[in-house]
Amino acid sequence: MAWGYLIIAGLFEIIGVIGVKKVSEKNNFKNNAILIGGFIVSFTFLSYAMEVIPLSTAYAIWTGIGTLGSTIVGILFYKEPKNALRIFCILGIIFMIIGLKVVS
């Protein structure tokens, strides 16, 4: 169950980061609610996951999911560059997350 909590935490970190972007574009109640709500849920599930998963592994995977997801959201919705090197780095993050899961 802890790994499920960690995945949920990572997904809500992505929502929190989307909220940061939205607040930077327009500072209103809705965008602040996305930002704050995303991070509150993310930190809550991260703390549940850390009851079982070691801190270093949980934090690395949580930030990896957030980085990966935020990069993909940026490419798909905010017209950020999607060159071969960037895709290669995204794949590297995926393999490192899988590697940490395998050795934990």
Over residues 4-28, the pLDDT tens digits come to: 999 999 999 999 999 999 999 999 9
Q: What angle do CA 86, 92, 93 make, to 5 degrees?
A: 95
Q: Give the pLDDT score at 28.
A: 98
Share of residues in the chain with pLDDT > 90 (%): 87
- Residue 101: per-residue pLDDT: 84
Query: From CA 13, how far away is CA 61, in angstroms rounded?
Result: 12
Q: How far apart, in Å, do the first and last CA atoms of the chain sit?
A: 14
Q: Are the beta carbons of 47 and 63 closer than 8 angstroms?
A: no
Q: What is the pLDDT averaged over residues 62-86?
A: 93
